[in-house]
Amino acid sequence: MNANPGQPQLSIVLPALNESASLAQLIPALQQRFPQAEILVVDDGSSDRTLEVCDAAICRVVRNPYRMGNGAAVKRGMRAARAETVVLMDADGQHTPAQVAQLLERYASGDYDMVVGARAASRQASLFRMTGNHLLNRLASWMTNQRVADLTSGLRVVKAERFREFLHLLPNGFSYPTTITMAFFRSGYPVSYVPVDVQPRIGRSHIRPLRDGARFLLIVFKIGSLYSPLKLFLPMSLLLFMIGTGLYAYTYMVAGRFTNMSALLLTTSLLTFLIGMVSEQITNLMFARRERQ
């Protein structure tokens, strides 16, 4: 029960860019399924009838004066949401109110800080997207030591207080799910996945696979270096050490000498390991200080 009677128990945040066709169906369906929820559309500088659709549906709108990106829309929505439990949901019609109810049921059944709708691999838009998402999921799982079923899903239920801790880390583009997922796992906040069946989107996707795929990969490494530095630096150090040792063995057998390149590789291996150790200590101090606050 809310301490503040005027505060909604649930906020549903819909970042939208030219999604008037899907919003015309989605908003009434959400209002019918969750009549007490706050429906909040973040219009990311749309040029279609998005505002008219929202006005007709009588829901809250936060409007960006120009296109700022999906992540920026999510951040503005999270700042404006009034409930302690927030649903983040793409506005393109791929997810349904019934799926939101599934996630909320899982969220209420355990002490979770985030519940994510995990899309089946067979429902990905293309083979390229399916392969890329699979590789990202495996990489993120390795870096967090937790199973990441869907790193880039746009459907999730979150505890607002926990989510807002990481707003400063979130990029303004499409990579916000990647960042928030890895941040939650590294911070020890419980995360659960619920399998969902994705519906065909209404309208054209705003994601560009090559450009945004490279950004997703970069985000994984950036967050990994922030939260698990040794997961990055130690393998690189070992690789350099093995190459340097192998080169030294080869040149010693062939020429009977220790080359400058072998020395450079072995020295770089040691420096990479030491940088990883220092970074790990800085990360531990950062988390220790945050826990004391």
pLDDT for the residue numbered 232: 84
Whether the Cβ atoms of residue 53 and residue 27 lie closer than 8 Å to each other: yes
pLDDT > 70: what percent of the chain? 84
Residue 109 vs residue 291, higher pLDDT: 109
Per the prediction, the chain carries an average pLDDT of 85
pLDDT at position 226 is: 73
223: left (phi over 0), alpha (psi -120 to 50) or beta: alpha
Work out the average pLDDT over 78-105.
Answer: 94
Is a pLDDT exceeding 90 seen at residue 123? Answer: no
First-to-last C-alpha distance (Å) of the chain: 27
Least trusted range by pLDDT, from 9-13, 101-105, 144-148, 286-290: 286-290
- With bands split at pLDDT 50, 70 and 90, how would you rate the model's confidence at 125? low
How far apart are alpha carbons 15 and 215 in whole angstroms?
20
Task: Choose among 153, 129, 139, 138: nearest CA to 210.
Answer: 129
pLDDT for 60 equals 93
Q: Is the pLDDT of residue 1 over 50?
A: no
d(CA 8, CA 12): 10
Confidence (pLDDT) at 154: 87
Give the pLDDT of residue 110. Answer: 84
45-80: pLDDT as tens digits:
998 899 999 999 989 999 999 999 889 999 999 999
Q: Express each pLDDT in 160-170 by its tens digit.
A: 999 999 898 88
Among 91-95, 177-181, 210-214, 242-246, which range has the highest average pLDDT?
Answer: 242-246
pLDDT at 179 over 90: no
The model's confidence at residue 126, banded by pLDDT at 50, 70 and 90, is low
The dihedrals phi and psi of 61, each to the nearest 5 degrees, come to -135, 130
- Residue entry with tokens 């390991």: 273
pLDDT digits (tens, 9 = 90+) for 71-80: 999 999 999 9
Residue 215 neighbours by CB under 8 Å, 6+ apart: 171, 173, 174, 175
pLDDT class for 256, splitting at 50, 70, 90? confident
pTM score of the predicted model: 0.78
